[in-house]
Structure 1
C-alpha cells in the first residue's frame, strides 16, 4: 500500500531548521488508537501529567475524552479492549524488568484491577474468543519462572482457573471455545514439536515437527471460529514462509498465499468467522492482497485516499468500522476512522502534529550485495539538501551513521523512522541493513547467519559501508556505527574487529560477552535456549564455547581506537548491566576513553521519553564531536532524566557543562 514519494526541494543543509529532539522522541499527542468491539467507544494513549495513559471517549463524541488510568512514572505503551467491550486491558512492568502484569479498567465504574497480582511474573495472552467474550486464556509463570501455566481468566470477576499446568512446553494454541488444541515444545533438532491436545490431554507424540532450519519461519497461526480450519505460517519444503490452511478433520493442507522473496507477514481475518480475508508480505515495502472481494474494495478505497503506507489496527465485531493507521513517511503518522458502510474516512488524530511541515526526508529502499552475492534489503535516508535531483544519492559524500537493528532475528522496515529522520536532520546519511540472520526474507536468509556472529553477519555491515563509500554516499573517514541490543553488540564488534572502519560507535544495551549473555537470559527463555546455542554457539561444548569467546568484543577491547558511547538500563533482563560494565572496565584498565550512561529505572531500551531524549542529546553531541554534524545543545536535557554518567563526560561536547561541571 504505497504511494510515490516526491523529492523535497533542495535546500542548503545549513538553512534546514533543526527538528527538536522532543518533537521526535517526546510523548506523541496520541497513539495506539482502538475502537471497542461493539463500536461504542474510542480509546488511545496520550499524555496525562506528562506520562502516557489510556484515554476513552464515546465513538460519537471524541471530544468528551477522559483518562481512565493514572500512571505517574512509567508510560503505558499498549492497550486493548476486552472482547465484551466492558473493560480496557493493558500490561505494565516495573522499571523495565519485563515482568509484565495484566490490568483492567471497568468502563462503567472506572475501577482498575490487577488481573495477575503476582510478583516476578510475566503474563502471556494464550487465547481470546469471538463467542466467549467475558473470558480469555492467559499464561502465568508465577509457579515456575521458566514455564507459563495456562489459566482461564474471567475478565469481569478476576477469577483465575487453572487449565493446564506446564512443565515443559514453550507455548499453546487455543480455539474459539478457549480450549487448548496444541502444545509447542523445543526438540533436539533445534526446532519445535507440535502436540495435539484432545479433551485436555496432550498427546505423547507430536503430530508435526520442525528442525532448526524452519524454527523461526514455521508456526501455527490460529483456527477459524468453527475450529474446522487451522492456519499455518509454514516454510517446510520451501524457502519463504507461506500461508497455509489445514483441514483439521482430514489433515489436508492448501496454500493460500506465497511469495518467492519474502515470508507472508500479516493477515486480516473476518472477526466473526476467523477466515483469512487478506494477506501481506514485506520485501522492501509491505504489499497487501485481498482474498475477500469486499475487503479488497475497502483496501482499494483506502489506497486511493491515503498517501504512503497504511494498515488496519482495530476493527469492530461486525467489521463495519476500522481504525486505520497511515504513514506518509515524510509526514507525521495519522489515524483515521473508516466507516465501511457509509464509505467515509475521518481523521482520528495526528500522532505528532508538530512534525507537520518539518523537513522530513524520503526513505530509499535498496538492494545491496554482500561479498558472497547475498542480496541485503536495506534502507537509506539522506540529509536535506544533499540530493537535489532526488535519485537517492547525495551530490557529494556526506558523514554517515550505520544504524543496526536488534534481534538479530528481527528486521528493518520501510516507513517513518524517528532515528533516521533525526540523524538525517543533523546532516548524516543513515543506512539500515537487513544483514543475514534477519527475519522476513525466508529461512535461507536467516540460517545464513547461524554461527556467524562477528563473522559473515558483520561482513554484511562492512560490505554495506563499502558500498556507500563506493557510491559516493558516505565520506570514508566519517562513518559511525550505532544500534541497540544486537545492534549494540554489532557496534562493539565494529570497533573491535574492524577498528579502523568506523569513526565512532554508539552501543545501547549491547552484549559484550556472549558467554555471560547466555548465562543471564530471562528464565522464560530457558525452554528455547537450544535455539540460541544452535545459532550462536553452545557454551556446553568446547567448540561452542571457543566460538562464543571469539565472537565476544570483551576479549578484544584493547583493539578499540575510536570513541565509544554506551547506554544501559540497570534493570535489563535480556542484556544485563554487567555486559556494559565488563567492557567499560576492560577499557578503563587499558586507559581507553569511553563514555558510559546508566539508567537505574530502565531495562532493555529506554521507555521513558525523558530518558530517551537525554541519551539522544548525549548521542547527537557525541556524533557531532566525531563526525562534525549538527546538534541541538544538550542544555538541560539531562535534568528530568535519571541518567548517570558513569564514565567519560569529557568526551562529549557540552556534557560536562550540562552536568554542572
Structure 2
C-alpha cells in the first residue's frame, strides 16, 4: 500500500470503535496531470495532514500538518499547488473557536501561505493579518480551471442566527493573496463555473423568490433563465449541473415527468430539449460529469448505488479491466482532467466493504492500494444490504433499505426501524453504512424506510410528504414495519424504532401513535414539537433562518396559525403522557439546529407522566450529532445495551 492505515486485530463482532472511530485515511485526489496523488492522512497520535505521492517513484511527502487542528478539505490549484482548509476533529461544537481558514502549499511542501484568517482578528492590526482574507472565506466546491495560480472562493455573509445569507465570489491569486470581488446582480446564493473555470451561472434569492442568471459571454450581461420558489422549488423546471468542454450546459430536470433526468440545455433559445441524456430507473438523476482531455467521457450516477455511465468506448474497456481485477465491488474510476501519465484513481466499495481507494496504471496494469476508511472492518463480518419496496396503506410504493445480520438465521429477527433525518433528503444507498451494519452485527435486522417526503424518488413521492409530519409520513414507517413482520424478517414482539433529528421526531410519534408496533425507542437530537422549531424561547437559539420559518416551513411542515390544530395533534411534547415504552434520549448541549430544550421539555413531560423507563444522556460539547469519536462510541454502546435489554434476547 502507498499510504497504509494501521491494521488492528478484532474479535467478532467488531468493536464499536471499528464503526465509529475516526479513520486514519480520509480520501485522495489526483493532480490535473495525474502524476501526483494528494491524500488526507492521520494517526492516533497526530492530526490529519495532507500528503503528496509522486506516483511513478512512490515518493511520499507530508506537505502540510498542524499540531492543533486537522486538514479537512483540499483542491489542486494547478499541477504544482494545493489549497486547503481545516477542521478540528478533537473539539465538539461548543468548543469550536475557529473557522476553517484557507491555506496554500506547493506539492513539495514549499511556499506555504495562509490566505484567510481562522477567526475575527481585526483587533490585531499587524501587517500580516491585514493581508489575509476574513474568516468567512471558504473554498468553492468546484475545482475551476486548475491551470494558473488563480482560484475562486466564497465570501459568505451570515445572519444573526448563523445561517448563510449570501455567497459572494472572489477571484483570488494564491501566490500573492490578493482578491477581487466578482460583480453580480442580486443576493448570491450559488455559483456554477464554466468550462474555462470562470463564473457563468448565478443563483440569487430575494425573500422566497430564487432566480437563475446566466452571464452571456457575447454580451457580458446577466440574463435570467429561470425564476422559482427558493424553498419549495415550485416553478423550477431545472437545476444546473455543469458545463462540458464545448460550453454546453447540462441540467437536471423533472419537467413533464415525475423523476428527473439529465439534459443538455439549449442556452440560445432558453429551453429544454425534447430528449434527455441520462435517466435512472426508479430514481431522480443524481451525479456529475466526468471530463478529461477536454472531452466529456461519461457521467457518474447515483441510483440505488453509485456507478458510471461511460460514453467513451476506451473508458468502458478500462472499466471492464478494473472490474475484473476487483470483483464483487462497485469500482468508480476517475481519470485526471489533463493527463500526462497513465494513472487513474479507483474507489471501490460494496454494502459490506467500506470505501477503499486505489490507483491503477493503464499501461503497466499495476493496481496499488492507497488507503481505506474503517480499516478494521472485514467484509466477511458484515451483513447484506438491499433495496426493497412495500405498499403504504394508500397504495403508494415506498422504497426502504433492509440490512440483515451476517450469516445465520435471516428470519424472525429482532428489528430496528431506523428513520432518517432531514426529512427532505434521500436517506440511504447501497453502500457500507456504519449505523446499519453495527446494528446488524449485533443480531438485528435494520429497516430504513424512504417515507414520502424523502427526495430522490420523484416529485410525487417528495410532495406527498408536505405537511405530513406525524400523519402519512408516520404511517409509511408503520406500514414498513408491518411489512417486515409479514415477510418474516422481524419478530413482531421485538421491534424498536430509532432515529436522529426528524428521525427522532418520528421515533417519538411512532411510540405514541403505534404503541402496539414498537417495544422501545431510541432518539437523538430529535424534534419534540414543531412550534418549538418556530420559537424555542429567548435562551435556546436556533440556526434556522427567519426566511425558512416564513417561507419554507409553513408550506412544507405546517403553518402555525392555519395548521395550529394539526401541529398540536402531531406534537410529541403535547402527547408525552401517552408514551409508555422504554426510551433512550440523547442531545447535544450546543445544538443550534434542534436546541437542547426540545429534549429537556420532553424528558420532563414523559417522566412526570409516570414513565420510569426513560434513559437520558447529554453530550454538553456536542451540536447536532456526535462529532467526537468518544461520544459516538459511548452513545452506540448505550444503544447496544438498551436494545439488548428490551428486544435482544427472546
Interval of TM-score (by shorter of Structure 1 and Structure 2): 0.7 to 0.9
Q: Does 1:535 align with 2:526?
A: no
- Equivalent-residue separation in structure 2 for 1:363 and 1:244 (angstroms): 32
One of 337, 351, 357 as aligned partner of 1:329: 351
Q: How many residues align?
A: 600
> Which residue does 2:212 correspond to in 1?
194
Q: Does 1:48 align with 2:43?
A: yes
One of 580, 601, 623 as aligned partner of 2:643: 623
Q: 1:498 to 1:383 in 2, by over 3 A?
A: same
> Which residue does 2:100 correspond to in 1?
101
One of 387, 392, 409 as aligned partner of 1:370: 392
- Equivalent-residue separation in structure 1 for 2:237 and 2:642 (angstroms): 39
- Equivalent-residue separation in structure 1 for 2:438 and 2:533 (angstroms): 31
Matched ranges for 1:212-611 at <5 A: 212=232, 218-225=238-245, 228-251=247-270, 253-254=272-273, 255-273=276-294, 275=296, 277-282=298-303, 284-306=304-326, 307-312=328-333, 315-318=336-339, 320-356=342-378, 358-387=380-409, 394-395=410-411, 397-411=412-426, 412-519=428-535, 521-522=542-543, 526=547, 530-539=551-560, 542-593=561-612, 594-611=614-631
- Equivalent-residue separation in structure 2 for 1:567 and 1:110 (angstroms): 46
> Which residue does 2:124 correspond to in 1?
none
Structure 2 alignment gaps of length 5 or more: 1-10, 121-134, 536-540
Q: 1:294 to 1:173 in 2, by over 3 A?
A: same
- Equivalent-residue separation in structure 1 for 2:220 and 2:604 (angstroms): 53
**Could you give the per-residue CA deviations for residues 85-110 of structure 1, whole angstroms, max 9, x where no partner exists?**
41241353774379853432413327
TM superposition outliers: structure 1 runs of 4+ over 6 Å: none
Q: 1:131 to 1:294 in 2, by over 3 A?
A: same
**Could you give the per-residue CA deviations for residues 110-147 of structure 1, whole angstroms, max 9, x where no partner exists?**
73625254558473626542265423322223475522
Assess if the C-alpha contact under 8 Å between 1:571 and 1:600 holds in 2. Answer: yes
TM-fit CA distance, 1:619: 1.3
TM-fit CA distance, 1:468: 1.1
Q: 1:357 to 1:535 in 2, by over 3 A?
A: closer
Structure 1 range deviating more: 400-409 or 244-253: 244-253
- Equivalent-residue separation in structure 1 for 2:47 and 2:17 (angstroms): 15
TM-fit CA distance, 1:258: 2.0
**Could you give the per-residue CA deviations for residues 321-378 of structure 1, whole angstroms, max 9, x where no partner exists?**
3221111333343211022344443222233343236521111321222112222222
> Which residue does 1:111 correspond to in 2?
112
Assess if the C-alpha contact under 8 Å between 2:588 and 2:619 holds in 1. Answer: yes
TM-fit CA distance, 1:458: 1.0
Secondary structure in 1 matching 2:298: strand
> Which residue does 2:66 correspond to in 1?
70
Assess if the C-alpha contact under 8 Å between 1:405 and 1:486 holds in 2. Answer: yes
Assess if the C-alpha contact under 8 Å between 1:504 and 1:564 holds in 2. Answer: yes
> Which residue does 2:126 correspond to in 1?
none
Q: 1:551 to 1:124 in 2, by over 3 A?
A: farther
Secondary structure in 2 matching 1:439: coil
Secondary structure in 2 matching 1:47: strand
**Could you give the per-residue CA deviations for residues 230-278 of structure 1, whole angstroms, max 9, x where no partner exists?**
1111112211111111243343543211235211211332145373623
Assess if the C-alpha contact under 8 Å between 2:501 and 2:594 holds in 1. Answer: yes
**Could you give the per-residue CA deviations for residues 562-614 of structure 1, whole angstroms, max 9, x where no partner exists?**
12212222333322222222222323433434222222332221122122111
Backbone CA RMSD of aligned residues: 3.2
> Which residue does 1:646 correspond to in 2?
none
- Equivalent-residue separation in structure 2 for 1:66 and 1:369 (angstroms): 53
Q: What is the TM-score normalised by the length of structure 1?
A: 0.82
> Which residue does 1:36 correspond to in 2?
31
Secondary structure in 2 matching 1:500: coil
One of 191, 213, 227 as aligned partner of 1:209: 227
> Which residue does 1:138 correspond to in 2?
153
TM-fit CA distance, 1:150: 2.2
Q: 1:572 to 1:136 in 2, by over 3 A?
A: farther
Structure 1 range deviating more: 269-278 or 568-577: 269-278
Q: 1:165 to 1:216 in 2, by over 3 A?
A: closer
> Which residue does 1:81 correspond to in 2?
76
Structure 1 range deviating more: 84-93 or 424-433: 84-93
- Equivalent-residue separation in structure 2 for 1:457 and 1:191 (angstroms): 28
- Equivalent-residue separation in structure 2 for 1:484 and 1:202 (angstroms): 42
**Could you give the per-residue CA deviations for residues 43-77 of structure 1, whole angstroms, max 9, x where no partner exists?**
3233334465123132335574537222546x555
- Equivalent-residue separation in structure 2 for 1:85 and 1:629 (angstroms): 59
Structure 1 range deviating more: 96-105 or 563-572: 96-105
Assess if the C-alpha contact under 8 Å between 1:408 and 1:437 holds in 2. Answer: yes
> Which residue does 1:653 correspond to in 2?
none
> Which residue does 2:123 correspond to in 1?
none
> Which residue does 1:151 correspond to in 2?
170
**Could you give the per-residue CA deviations for residues 271-330 of structure 1, whole angstroms, max 9, x where no partner exists?**
453736234240x34453222222222223223332222324673532853221111333
Q: 1:303 to 1:127 in 2, by over 3 A?
A: closer
Q: 1:186 to 1:146 in 2, by over 3 A?
A: closer
Q: 1:193 to 1:142 in 2, by over 3 A?
A: closer
Assess if the C-alpha contact under 8 Å between 1:34 and 1:314 holds in 2. Answer: no
- Equivalent-residue separation in structure 1 for 2:379 and 2:154 (angstroms): 45
- Equivalent-residue separation in structure 2 for 1:65 and 1:131 (angstroms): 21
TM-fit CA distance, 1:35: 2.2
Structure 1 alignment gaps of length 5 or more: 1-15, 388-393, 631-661
> Which residue does 1:648 correspond to in 2?
none
Assess if the C-alpha contact under 8 Å between 1:257 and 1:279 holds in 2. Answer: no
